[in-house]
Amino acid sequence: MAIRVQREDFDVGAELAALTENNHGIGGVTSFVGLVREMGGGPSAMTLEHYPGMTERQLAEIEAEASRRWKLDATLIIHRYGRLEPGDRIVLVATASAHREAAFESCHFLIDWLKTRAPFWKLEETAKGSHWVEAKEGDDIAASRWAETTANEKG
Amino acid sequence: MAIRVQREDFDVGAELAALTENNHGIGGVTSFVGLVREMGGGPSAMTLEHYPGMTERQLAEIEAEASRRWKLDATLIIHRYGRLEPGDRIVLVATASAHREAAFESCHFLIDWLKTRAPFWKLEETAKGSHWVEAKEGDDIAASRWAETTANEKG
Amino acid sequence: MKLLYFAWLRTKTGVAHEEVAPPEHVRDVASLIEWLPTRGPNFADAFKNTAVVRVAVNQQYARPDHPLKAGDEVALFPPVTGG
Amino acid sequence: MKLLYFAWLRTKTGVAHEEVAPPEHVRDVASLIEWLPTRGPNFADAFKNTAVVRVAVNQQYARPDHPLKAGDEVALFPPVTGG
């Protein structure tokens, strides 16, 4: 159960290996790596702003909620901030469980909730200057399919 | 779109990095790593037997089916055979897409189908000797939720 | 009371964080959101459309009826776009 | 016709692969599965419960009515347990 918010890149292989080390009850690890995607109109970098303190708190709450809902042996969320370029890793979410269903569902749950609740904002650089990326309604819909009591906590 | 059936271990971080290299249209990579799980009754190794030729064929068909169903930028399946010990990696399935829903669903689809169609068999070593692991009905059920035309192809 | 602004709420107001002593009638999130645009043209512009403003009190998402008190840390930001 | 056996079908029959010339009436997967247990006690034991036997013809899963011909590669195995 680990949360890290950092400027630096991360080593996916090393992180996943550390997650399952010495726990031979784990049957599977599902992970999601989010990358900076190049939008139409050529290369565009972005800067991720966040709310230090609240970010860690929200991620820890999301992670605790996943551990309540599924039987998990280990979870990891790493989210970067600062300036990132197309192809750069932004986020890693990984969940380990005895069974693959729990690993898949909890990992999917974590990234969906993270996208609607973790206080990060993307400032995209384009040829015409910088602009703040608008939230996608699809993210709220994706998160809402997991909704139970947590759904109405969002302000 | 790559399939590998091998005795050797694999480097998850390097494999995932290679999968997305030079494709900046990819927004997310979902991966699943299956591990040898220690069963009740202490450490137990296993030997994975497979049907060379048919394995690669089946995996390639499953992968092609995933690429028909979802918009994917890259997919990778690596499956090991031979003797493995608890904690060892058995399988890696990874899918890359512009959008995370496609990556999650296709990765989940691939591992569910792989578990019911790829010709691998586990011979488990226990204190009482070796025995062939029996197929879990749950795997058929997990795979059947993806069923369309492919469901009735299984003999 | 400490106010923090993020993303375009920060760039529009021109303020990252500040200490404020709001008038007496500001007792909850809703009344704070009503008061803020009265503080000058940049605030009026930033809080033009309050439907897209999210609020956290002491680092937790808060609803309009959430009460506010002197020592609170109140953050104002648009819908999040991380991940 | 080449036959391959995997997992406990291999250990029970004691055969990994073999070349066979089945009798004339063996024309599809179903009739092959009926003929095999008649080949001796180890085959009778291995094919006691044919409901759990899976068949692939030329490396593709095949149903009972799948026709067989001389040069086919036919694999017999229990439900798979990989991944």
Q: How confident is the model at residue A43, as a pLDDT?
A: 65
Give pLDDT tens digits for B74-106.
Answer: 999 999 999 999 999 999 999 999 999 999 999
pLDDT mean over D9-35: 97
Which of D55, D74, D80 would best serve as a mutation to test chain B binding (most B beta carbons within 10 A)? Answer: D80
Give percent of chain B with pLDDT exceeding 90: 77
**What whole-number distance in Å separates Cα of residue A115 and Cα of residue A66?**
15
Does the structure show a pLDDT above 80 at A155?
Answer: no
Give the amino acid at B58.
Q
Q: How confident is the model at residue B144, as a pLDDT?
A: 83
Q: What is the ipTM of this complex?
A: 0.92
Q: Do B28 and A34 touch (CB under 8 A)?
A: yes
Q: Which of B33, B66, B98 is nearest to A29 (CA)?
A: B33
pLDDT greater at residue D29 or residue A136: D29
A20 CB near a chain B CB, below 8 Å?
yes
Tokens 């008649």 correspond to D38
Tokens 């991380």 correspond to C82
pLDDT mean over A67-90: 97
Q: How confident is the model at residue D40, as a pLDDT?
A: 96
Q: Locate C24 and state its tokens.
A: 């007496």
Cα distances from A148 to residues A70, A152, A153, C18, D62, in angstroms, run: 14, 8, 10, 36, 45
Q: Confidence band (pLDDT; 50, 70, 90) for B151?
A: very low
Q: Confidence band (pLDDT; 50, 70, 90) for B153?
A: very low
Q: Do A155 and C55 touch (CB under 8 A)?
A: yes
Give percent of chain C with pLDDT exceeding 90: 98
Q: Confidence band (pLDDT; 50, 70, 90) for C58?
A: very high
**What whole-number distance in Å separates Cα of residue D53 and Cα of residue C71?**
72
D20: number of Cβ within 10 Å? 14
Q: How confident is the model at residue A153, as a pLDDT?
A: 43
Give pLDDT tens digits for D25-45.
Answer: 999 999 999 999 999 999 999
Asked whether the beta carbons of D31 and D41 are under 8 A apart, the reply is: no
Question: What is the spatial order of strands in the sheet that A89-97 belongs to?
Answer: A2-6, A74-80, A89-97, A28-35, B28-35, B89-97, B74-80, B2-6
**Strands A82-84, D73-77: parallel, antiparallel or unpaired by DSSP?**
unpaired
B42 CB near a chain A CB, below 8 Å?
no
Give pLDDT tens digits for D45-67.
Answer: 999 999 999 999 999 999 999 99
**Residue B26 distance to chain A (closest CA, Å):** 6
Q: How confident is the model at residue A145, as a pLDDT?
A: 85
Q: Confidence band (pLDDT; 50, 70, 90) for A65?
A: very high
Does the structure show a pLDDT above 70 at B30?
Answer: yes
D65 Cβ contact list (under 8 Å, min separation 6):
D28, D29, D30
- Mean pLDDT over each residue of chain B, to the nearest integer: 91
Give the amino acid at A39.
M
Chains interfacing with B (3 or more CB pairs < 8 Å): A, D
Q: Locate B126 and state its tokens.
A: 């226990």
Does the structure show a pLDDT above 50 at A154?
Answer: no
**What whole-number distance in Å separates Cα of residue B94 and Cα of residue B92?**
7
Class of B2-154 in CATH: alpha beta
Asked whether the beta carbons of A130 and C7 are under 8 A apart, the reply is: no
**Residue B96 distance to chain A (closest CA, Å):** 9
Any bridge partners for residue B123, and if so which? B47, B132
Does the structure show a pLDDT above 90 at A91?
Answer: yes
Q: Confidence band (pLDDT; 50, 70, 90) for A82?
A: very high
Give pLDDT tens digits for C7-42.
Answer: 999 999 999 999 999 999 999 999 999 999 999 999
Interface of D with B in 18-77 (CB under 8 A): 29, 54-56, 59-63, 66, 75, 77
Give pLDDT tens digits for B32-47.
Answer: 999 999 877 666 899 9
Which region holds residue B143: left if phi is over 0, alpha if psi is between -120 and 50, else beta? alpha
pLDDT mean over A130-149: 82
Q: Do B51 and D60 touch (CB under 8 A)?
A: no
Q: Which of C12, C53, C48 is nearest to C29 (CA)?
A: C53
Cβ-based contacts of B103 with chain A (< 8 Å): 32
Does the structure show a pLDDT above 90 at A53?
Answer: yes
Q: Confidence band (pLDDT; 50, 70, 90) for A152?
A: very low
Which residue from D55, D62, D83 is facing B115, i.e. has the nearest CB? D83
pTM of the model: 0.92
CATH superfamily assigned to domain C2-77: Beta-grasp domain (3.10.20.30)
Cβ-based contacts of C29 with chain A (< 8 Å): 155
Mapped to the 3 state alphabet, what secondary structure does chain D carry? CEEEECHHHHHHHCCCEEECCCCCCCCEHHHHHHHHHHHCHHHHHHCCCHHHCEEEECCEECCCCCECCCCCEEEEECCCCCC
Does the structure show a pLDDT above 50 at B143?
Answer: yes
- Mean pLDDT over each residue of chain A, to the nearest integer: 91
Asked whether the beta carbons of A120 and A81 are under 8 A apart, the reply is: yes
Q: How confident is the model at residue A60, as a pLDDT?
A: 97
Q: Do D81 and B51 touch (CB under 8 A)?
A: no
